[in-house]
Structure formats: structure tokens, C-alpha cells
């Protein structure tokens, strides 16, 4: 937005001045100085030039500055030099402020064309359908959903996929429980959700039984084998169970505002035998080679993936696990023909149909789910190696493969804090946190956290709105719970382990989602109380220091969106949203809007509040946090 324009102008001034002095530079570094009195942007070009020319930076800076004096300026106001050689640029405040506010109150703020219609497949969630989502899975859902929203916001054509591993060990385990070990198919208490029942009871207990009575493990192998055969009775049964779990899991996801376009079942990939075609294709294109000797003799390998040769087909003819992942990745990017059929799975809360893959007859009218330009896969870092191999293989899929991008959006896992673990009665010894494990029963279910949060928010909302409609209070409480959990899971850098502490997660103050919602409501009420007004009738662009700081931050909106999109760092949006809320609240406490006597000041402040709300609303939307005029 406007800050970008200011930056570009300053850069042009520098480039022109440098040109006139006859020096040369590769890049212009322009940064915000640590203190306002230095200006709005500072450059260190003089240091770079001074080094090459063996001159004093201060002299160079003075020289550049003297050239600039005569240049035409628009958003740039004063330029000055400070020792030891910084070139400082100040904005022309009235112009800058008016332009920023004008742009920010524009209703069409929400369209920044970065993607230019590029097709992107975002895969996230992908929880084994044998248990309820725990808090770690929720980090995946939130990251995936925010990325998806951000990409749509910046004009990408997005399909959201959810990969369902319905043929692996985890599903096999609960099927063993139901078919062989006598677990009743329905929860003992009808109030228990089916996914919780399968995960908390059946799955954990079956695994306990494997270690207590090792002979029971044979059932697992039997089930696994039968799951591969679509015509087996076990497969049919498992399908029924996993879909039932899936419905419950999706309730959790949709309750926090995450929706999908298609569920891709692993068993369909396996049973489609697509692997053999892909195998042939890879042989033809010499992506894989047959090893005649050495330790991999008799195997088909990929040379040099991940600096090592990777076995794809063992000497006994069995495919390694990569056999599912490669065809699936190739499908996403349109490197193989679409081998799925599609059926409607359900209509989601947002009214959109959720589809699922099938090998049986599908429906003719279905959206296109494959053939994306970019595949973004939200998967935790433990899969990093495998994902890297897949990406490198995709790049070797001929000319078409080179044009496609397979991106692993990795994030660190969620662990339980010491306090929370102790609270759950777990042994922690001297560790600061402990990793979750579905099999061992060490985890916190997402639904439970949401429920606790909702109760807390309900209390608080009720306290503040004693006479409000109970339905409204319920709705707001849920919305606050969702914002707290979403913000908490997105704000942190993806490369860091998120240590989940229940007490911490239940906070509604400080750097949290509810703080954004509170601030939004607070600002909304000003405009609501004032009623209609016509912006920009009389302005002079003169603002107090705090107001100016606030406007300047708002002017960075598009830069933030661009950075977050191109670097896939949606956590930056959370930080920025918090930042502008802090600035708004400072402004709010210090300067009256409705009670301001000066007409021009009052008018400008109203515009500022409106501009802020516009920016915040879009940010919150991307973060999946609802904005209400009252909470």
C-alpha cells in the first residue's frame, strides 16, 4: 500500500543520486530506524559505497544528500544525514496519512493479486481416521486453513485436500479391536463422541493388549492384508468405521472454521494400482534405475535423492511406502491422469459440498481437484526427509514436472508442558515438556480444550452482557474460544516446538485472539455510536505522534500480506494484527473521537477508526477469527 510506495520513492532517490555521483551499487538497503527522530526509513548505502571507494561514510552520505536536494518528491519529505553515515528519509506526513487512510477505507481493500489465478492444492489435517484430533493435529489444521485463506485472499485458485490414511496400522488396530478383541462397536456412553471412543479406548487398549498378549498381534497382520482388498468384508467394515470417525473429526475441524474440498483415501490409491503405471513412467523417463550390484542389488532405486540412493522397489518386488506418496503427489500436480472417481461425502456447515475419492462409480459433475501448479503439504517436520525426496522426484518428472512445485510446509510438533503433563497424572521426571503419543494415550483432545475455552468465554461474556440473548451469548462464546485456540496455534514460528500449556491456552488477555476481537468491538462501537458519516470532506492530514505511528503501521498492510504469502509465513499476520491493535488501544486511551471538539480532528479520527477496522477485519478473516461489533 502506501508504505511500499514511499519505500520505492526513497529507493529511486538513492539510485538517481548514486547514478549522478558515478558510483555503483547492487542493492539499496532501506530499513526502519530504531527511533522515530531518525526518520521513517534509513539507508546504509553510504557505508557500502564508502567501503568500495575507501572514503568516509559520512562524506559519501553528505554527497548523496546534496544531489537529492533538487530531486522531485512526492511522499518523501525531508532527507537528512546522521553520523556515522546514515541517510534518513522522512515522509511527507499530511500526504502520506491522507493517502493511507483513503486507501484503507476503500471497501475493496481485500484484493491483492499475487497469485494471478495460479492453481494451488493445499493439503492439511490428514489425521488417521482411528481417533479424535488432539491439540497437535489442530496446529496442522489451523496452519493449513490460514494458508488456504491467505492464498485465496491473494487471488490463488485453491483446492483444499485432506488425506485419509485408511489402510495403515492405526486403522488396522481399531478394526482388530472391534473384530477380534470384542470391543463393542458403540461407545458405552452415548454422550462420548465416536472418534474419542475409538482413540481414547479402543486404540490405546488394543495396543496395550499387543504388549500384554503378543499373540494378539497376528490379527493386525490379517486385517492389514485384507484392507488392501476392496472386495473383502473387512475392507467394507473398516470403511464404515473410518467414515464414522471421519464425520466426528470433521465436526471438530468445522467448529473452528476449517473446511475442505476433497477427502483423498489412501486405500483408493493403493487399490487403483496406479503405482504400476507410475512405475512404468518412471522407468521410461529413467527417473529410477535397476541396481545390479552393491547393497541394493536387485532393487529399483532413485539415484542421489537426498544425497543417497533410495530404494523404491525392494528386491523381493514389494514397494516401499514411497509407492503411495509419489503417485499421489503426481496426481496433485497433474503428472498422471486422474485415476480417481468422486462422490459427495457431505454438505459442510458453510454450505459447500465435501467430496471424496472412490474407485466405484463416481458422479459426473464434480469439480477438478488435481492438476495444480503448486502443491502445498502441511505436515510436521518429522516427515521432512520423505517430503524432500518426493519434491526432488517430482522435479524429475520431465518438462512438466520442472514447472510444478511440491512444497512441504513443515512445522514443529506440539508437546505438553511439564505443568499440564503433571496435571494429567503423567510422569515427567526432569523434562521441561513431553511429546504426545496417541498410542500411549499421552495427549489432550482438541474438543476438550475447546470445551474448556468455551465455558470460560461463556462466563466472561455473560458477565459483560447480563441481559443479552442466551443464544447470542452462546454463539459469541464459541467464537471467542475459536479465536483463542486459532491465534495460539498460528502465532508462533513454525520451526519451534509449541509447548502446550493448558493454563496458558485458556487466557483471553494479552497477545491472544480475544484481544483482537475485543479491540475490534471497541472500535466498532465508536462508529456505531456516531452513525453515518461522509469521510474525507475536510481533512488536513495533521496528526498527533501516536496517531501517526498508528497510520504508518496500517500503511504496511500490503507489505505484510505479500511477505506472509510469498514466504508462507502466515504467523506474521497474527503478529501484525496484534501490533495494530496495540496501537489502536494506545490511540483510543489518549485521544477522544466522539468527544473531540475540533471538527477536522474528529473527522480524521473517525476515518482512522474506520480504516483500522477495515484492515483488522481482513486480517482476522484470513486468520479465521470472527469479527463482531459486540462481544
Partner RNA sequence: GGGCUCGUGGCCCAGUACGGAUAAGGCAUUGGCCUUCGGAGCCAAGGAUCGUGGGUUCAAAUCCCACCGGGCCCA
> Looking only at residues 390 through 429 of this chain, which bind RNA when binding is defined by CB under 7 A?
412
* Residue placing its CB nearer to RNA in the complex, 515 or 543: 515
The piece of 67-75, 155-163, 211-219, 502-510 that touches RNA (CB under 7 A) is 502-510
Q: ω into residue 84 within 30 of 0, thus cis?
A: yes
Q: Note whether 218 binds RNA by CB under 7 A.
A: no
The one among 460, 506, 539, 600 contacting RNA by CB under 7 A: 460
In the complex, what is the shortest distance from the CB of residue 326 to RNA, in angstroms, rounded to a whole number? 16
Q: Note whether 431 binds RNA by CB under 7 A.
A: yes
Distance CA 426, CA 407 (A): 37
The one among 507, 549, 562, 617 contacting RNA by CB under 7 A: 507
Q: Which of 482, 461, 463, 516 lies closest to 631, judged by CA?
A: 461
Q: Note whether 457 binds RNA by CB under 7 A.
A: yes
Interior/surface letters 464-500, b for 16+ CB within 10 angstroms, e for the rest:
eeeeeeeeebeebbbbbbbbbbbbbbbbbebeeebbb
E strands, 202-321, where?
262-265, 288-290, 300-305, 308-313
In the complex, what is the shortest distance from the CB of residue 584 to RNA, in angstroms, rounded to a whole number? 8
The partner residues of 406 in beta bridges, in order of sequence, read 375
125 Ramachandran zone, left/alpha/beta (phi>0; psi -120 to 50): left
The one among 155, 296, 371, 586 contacting RNA by CB under 7 A: 586
In the complex, what is the shortest distance from the CB of residue 107 to RNA, in angstroms, rounded to a whole number? 22
* Residue placing its CB nearer to RNA in the complex, 4 or 338: 4
* Residue placing its CB nearer to RNA in the complex, 537 or 594: 594
The one among 137, 179, 556, 578 contacting RNA by CB under 7 A: 578
Distance CA 262, CA 101 (A): 41
- Each as own residue / partner, the long-range contacts of residues 506-510 (CB below 8 Å, 24 or more positions apart, any chain) are 506/452, 506/453, 506/456, 508/456, 508/457, 508/460, 508/480, 508/484
* Residue placing its CB nearer to RNA in the complex, 84 or 398: 84
Distance CA 597, CA 493 (A): 45
Count of Cβ atoms closer than 10 Å to residue 58 Cβ? 17
Residues 296-355 that bind RNA (CB under 7 A): 308
**DSSP code at position 445:** B
Contact 100, 551 (CB under 8 A): yes
Give the per-residue contact string, 62-101, with RNA (x = CB under 7 A; - = no). Answer: --------------------x-x-x-x-------------
* Residue placing its CB nearer to RNA in the complex, 135 or 253: 135
The one among 525, 549, 562, 617 contacting RNA by CB under 7 A: 525
The one among 231, 351, 595, 597 contacting RNA by CB under 7 A: 595
Number of residues located near RNA, criterion CB under 7 A: 72
Q: Note whether 620 binds RNA by CB under 7 A.
A: no
The piece of 30-38, 96-104, 139-147, 250-258 that touches RNA (CB under 7 A) is 30-38
Amino acid at each position: 500500500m502506501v508504505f511500499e510506495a514511499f519505500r520505492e520513492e526513497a529507493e529511486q532517490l538513492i539510485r538517481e543520486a548514486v547514478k549522478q555521483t558515478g558510483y555503483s551499487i547492487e542493492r539499496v538497503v532501506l530499513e526502519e530506524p530504531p527511533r522515530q527522530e531518525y526518520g521513517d526509513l534509513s539507508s546504509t548505502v553510504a557505508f557500502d559505497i564508502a567501503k568500495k571507494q575507501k572514503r568516509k561514510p559520512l562524506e559519501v552520505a553528505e554527497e548523496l544528500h546534496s544531489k537529492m536536494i533538487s530531486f522531485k518528491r512526492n511522499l518523501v519529505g525531508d532527507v537528512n544525514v546522521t553520523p556515522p553515515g546514515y541517510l534518513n528519509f522522512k515522509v511527507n506526513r499530511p500526504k502520506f496519512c491522507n493517502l493511507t487512510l483513503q486507501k484503507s477505507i476503500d471497501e475493496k481493500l481485500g484484493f491483492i493479486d499475487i497469485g494471478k489465478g495460479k492453481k494451488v492444492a493445499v493439503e492439511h489435517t490428514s489425521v488417521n481416521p482411528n481417533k479424535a484430533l488432539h491439540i497437535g493435529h489442530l496446529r496442522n489444521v489451523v496452519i493449513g486453513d490460514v494458508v488456504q485463506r491467505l492464498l485465496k485472499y491473494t487471488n490463488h485458485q485453491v483446492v483444499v485436500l485432506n488425506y485419509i490414511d485408511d489402510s495403515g496400522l492405526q486403522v488396522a488396530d481399531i478394526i482388530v479391536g472391534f473384530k477380534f478383541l470384542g470391543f463393542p462397536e458403540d461407545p458405552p456412553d452415548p454422550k462420548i463422541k465416536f472418534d474419542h471412543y475409538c482413540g481414547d479406548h479402543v486404540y490405546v487398549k488394543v495396543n496395550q493388549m499387543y504388549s500384554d498378549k503378543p499373540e494378539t498381534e497376528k490379527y493386525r497382520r490379517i486385517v492389514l492384508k485384507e484392507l488392501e482388498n476392496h472386495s473383502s468384508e473387512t475392507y467394507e467394515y473398516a470403511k464404515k468405521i473410518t467414515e464414522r470417525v471421519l464425520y466426528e473429526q470433521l465436526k471438530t475441524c468445522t467448529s473452528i472454521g476449517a473446511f475442505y474440498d476433497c477427502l483423498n483415501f489412501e486405500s483408493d490409491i493403493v487399490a487403483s494400482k496406479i503405482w504400476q503405471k507410475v512405475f512404468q513412467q518412471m522407468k521410461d523417463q529413467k527417473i529410477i534405475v535397476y541396481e545390479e550390484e552393491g547393497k541394493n542389488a536387485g532393487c529399483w532405486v532413485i539415484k542421489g535423492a537426498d544425497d543417497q540412493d533410495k530404494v523404491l522397489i525392494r528386491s523381493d518386488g514389494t514397494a516401499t511406502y514411497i509407492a503411495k506418496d509419489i503417485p499421489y503427489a503426481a496426481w496433485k500436480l497433474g503428472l498422471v491422469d486422474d485415476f480417481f472417481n468422486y462422490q459427495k461425502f457431505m454438505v459442510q456447515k458453510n454450505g459447500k459440498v465435501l467430496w471424496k475419492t472412490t474407485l466405484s462409480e463416481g458422479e459426473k459433475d464434480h469439480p477438478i481437484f488435481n492438476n495444480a501448479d503448486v502443491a502445498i503439504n502441511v505436515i510436521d517436520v518429522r516427515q521432512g526427509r520423505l517430503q524432500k525426496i518426493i519434491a526432488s522426484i517430482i522435479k524429475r518428472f520431465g518438462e512438466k514436472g520442472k514447472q510444478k512445485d511440491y512444497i512441504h510446509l513443515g512445522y514443529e510438533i506440539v508437546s505438553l508442558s511439564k505443568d499440564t503433563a503433571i496435571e494429567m497424572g503423567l510422569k515427567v521426571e526432569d523434562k521441561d515438556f513431553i511429546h504426545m503419543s496417541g498410542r500411549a494415550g499421552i495427549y489432550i483432545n482438541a474438543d476438550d480444550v475447546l470445551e474448556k475455552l468455551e465455558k470460560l468465554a461463556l462466563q466472561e461474556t455473560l458477565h459483560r452482557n447480563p441481559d443479552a440473548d442466551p443464544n447470542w451469548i452462546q454463539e459469541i462464546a464459541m467464537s471467542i474460544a475459536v479465536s483463542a485456540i486459532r491465534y495460539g496455534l498460528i502465532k508462533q514460528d513454525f520451526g519451534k516446538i509449541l509447548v502446550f500449556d493448558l493454563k496458558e491456552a485458556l487466557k483471553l488477555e494479552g497477545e491472544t485472539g480475544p484481544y483482537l476481537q475485543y479491540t475490534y468491538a471497541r472500535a466498532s462501537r465508536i462508529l456505531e455510536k456516531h452513525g453515518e458519516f461522509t469521510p474525507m470532506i475536510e481533512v488536513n492530514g495533521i496528526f498527533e505522534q501516536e496517531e501517526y505511528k498508528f497510520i504508518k503501521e496500517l500503511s504496511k498492510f500490503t507489505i505484510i500480506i505479500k511477505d506472509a504469502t510469498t514466504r508462507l509465513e502466515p504467523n506474521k499476520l497474527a503478529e501484525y494484527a496484534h501490533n495494530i491493535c496495540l496501537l489502536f488501544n494506545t490511540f483510543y486511551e489518549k485521544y477522544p473521537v466522539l468527544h473531540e471538539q475540533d471538527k477536522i480532528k474528529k473527522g480524521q479520527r473517525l476515518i482512522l477508526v474506520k480504516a483500522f477496522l477495515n484492515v483488522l477485519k481482513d486480517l482476522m478473516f484470513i486468520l479465521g477469527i470472527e469479527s463482531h461489533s459486540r462481544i
